[in-house]
Chains A and B, each alone.
Chain A
């Protein structure tokens, strides 16, 4: 097999791992609270700036900077839910989406005001690893493994804890659960916090691979929404598989053509899929 194609395939898998985390977080929020956080990628952007600032400006160790990023973005998620989403829970979907779209502008604008439009790089790089004839970037591999671990933790949380069970249940049927003694407001808040934490984790993984700038969210945000819906709401495994599929499409498309065209194909696949299986690829 052509080693370059093999490399593209492997990169597709690694890219999928990076897409998977934000898509899972979004999936959780969308599935449980039934509101699309249009600004999700911007939460990730804030997290990326946090890590960048703490590491390069304040001189913290990278691990500590990442550890600080998680609770911060989680709090941002909670604040977003408390201040913006909660008052709009009974409003038409359009108002909810547009309000989170407003938050997108706020975060982008704030980032531009504080950090200007420069591209900021963490400047961390590791030597590529050699596997036979194929080279893999070490940072990407670590990010991939961390994404797997993060997704595993999320799965365990949803599967084995009481709160996790309640979250899954409310995603199934939001009318019945309150009758069973679960307070949906609390569950919504927890889901938003977990969603924020995942955005923070995604930020830690992305900041080592991408330069941060105020509009970085627009580069991976839309694809995250697509993955989240393709996987099927409330379907963690489906989300993960969808992320790998998108990663593959983009990586292989980029190998044969240009990166833009591969994204065009990915978005085209999403639109087609919405027509054929709107409930998600892996819906029961």
Chain B
């Protein structure tokens, strides 16, 4: 309870930001960071239980493309398209996850299977170029401003509230999971699968539960990102590059704390932008270069991320 009040106040303050008429750039940064945070939160739900996925780009992209294709070809509103995208991604996640968990594909091997799945989605999107525009990408059809709400095309303030709401949902999901028996079961599974199974934990079912939640959040973030940018291409919403970016945010912030991925997202976007501001567009390679170094350093010296460091300080 003691945490709810400060959190509510902070949330109200965040929600009030557009009322003060900040520059578009600030809102843009906030929206981008929050979108990254949603995807990272989703990833960390699996990651912290040892289910390392390099395929979250696949689900990110599945959500984005389902929504965009439904809108462009059938005129289905993104308000329905995003849930549809989430359903598609969750189905894909279950189709991939169920046999993996059932047949005990774990550790490195699980990571490689998810990596292959991510590549499949990226390649499928490229191959179906008649519908998706291939590697050139696609833009959701624009509508006149007065129909903007139905098409989920509105100004930055509207998007900020939408994205903020989704972020709160992601945190609530994390919180609910944390308080449930499932998280205890998953912690036991991460520790020792055989031992967990021997005390009656249904390994496959518990893993599937967390996979569904994690995938759904990734798909949500993917669809919102595409809708916000009004552009999606196989490389920008799917594949190993996107997967690793999601992972980086979650790791840097700390995947064991609910706000960790959010801290990581703010750090990632902040790093991105400051590199862009300091070096200009000439130095396009600088951002991945510094990400990489930071990722290695985090793994070597701070595997629990910044949130882990803060927790240690508090205690």
Q: Which residues of A contact B (CB under 8 A)?
A: 30, 36, 84, 87-88, 91-99, 101-114, 117, 214-215, 218, 221-222, 225-226, 229, 258, 260-261, 263-264, 267-268, 270-271, 274-275, 278
Contacts and interface: CB of A to CB of B under 8 A. Distances in A.
10 contacts: A87-B300, A98-B251, A99-B299, A102-B296, A105-B291, A108-B292, A109-B288, A112-B288, A114-B285, A222-B240
Nearest to A93: B107
B124 A112 contact: no
Contacts of A111: 285
Contacts of B124: 260, 264
Given A105-B244, A258-B127, A97 B291 contact: no
Say whether chain A's binding surface is mostly helix, strand, loop, or mixed: helix
Nearest to A257: B127
B117 A278 contact: no
Contacts of A114: 285
Given A97-B52, A102-B296, A260-B127, A271 B96 contact: yes
B166 interface: no
Interface string B119-135: 11001101100000000
A264 B296 contact: no
B237 to A, nearest CB: 15
Contacts of A96: 299
B299 A109 contact: no
A249 B219 CA distance: 31
Interface of B: 47, 50, 52, 96, 99-100, 103-105, 107-109, 111-113, 115-117, 119-120, 123-124, 126-127, 239-241, 244, 247-248, 251, 283-296, 298-300, 303
Contacts of A268: 120
A264 B234 CA distance: 14
Nearest to A42: B292
Contact of A113 (B240, B285, B294): B285
A271 B113 CA distance: 6
A99 B123 contact: no
A92 B123 CA distance: 31
Given A106-B293, A113-B289, A267-B119, A229 B112 contact: yes
Contacts of A278: 103-105, 109
A195 to B, nearest CB: 16
A280 B84 CA distance: 37
Nearest to A276: B103
B299 A95 contact: yes
Contact of A103 (B111, B251, B296): B296
A106 B244 CA distance: 13
B227 to A, nearest CB: 25
Given A84-B296, A103-B296, A274 B109 contact: yes
Given A88-B300, A264-B120, A278-B103, 6 more contacts: A97-B108, A102-B295, A109-B286, A112-B284, A226-B112, A229-B112
B261 to A, nearest CB: 14
Contacts of A102: 248, 291-296, 298-299
A109 B119 contact: no
Nearest to B243: A101
Given A222-B240, A263-B123, A99 B295 contact: yes
Contacts of B248: 102, 105
A39 to B, nearest CB: 9
A260 B295 contact: no
B300 A264 contact: no
A122 B293 CA distance: 30
Task: Report the 4 A-B pairs with minimum CB-CB distance, sorted nearest first.
Answer: A112-B285, A109-B289, A105-B292, A102-B295
Contacts of A105: 244, 248, 288-289, 291-292, 295
Contact of B291 (A36, A109, A218, A267): A109
A225 B112 contact: yes
Contacts of B47: 94
Contacts of A101: 244, 247, 295
Given A112-B284, A258-B127, A264-B127, A95 B303 contact: yes
A216 B107 CA distance: 27
Contacts of B109: 229, 274, 278
Q: Which of B50, B285, B290 has the most CB of A within 10 A?
A: B285
B242 to A, nearest CB: 11
B288 A97 contact: no
Contact of B105 (A94, A106, A274): A274
A107 B292 contact: yes
A112 B244 CA distance: 18
B116 A222 contact: yes
Nearest to A106: B292
Contacts of A218: 239-241
Q: Which of A94, A99, A258 has the most CB of B within 10 A?
A: A94
A260 B240 contact: no
B116 A117 contact: no
A114 B288 CA distance: 13
Q: Which of B105, B241, B289 has the most CB of A within 10 A?
A: B289
B292 A109 contact: yes
B115 A98 contact: no
Nearest to B111: A97
Contacts of A97: 52, 108, 111
Contacts of A104: 244, 292
A42 to B, nearest CB: 10
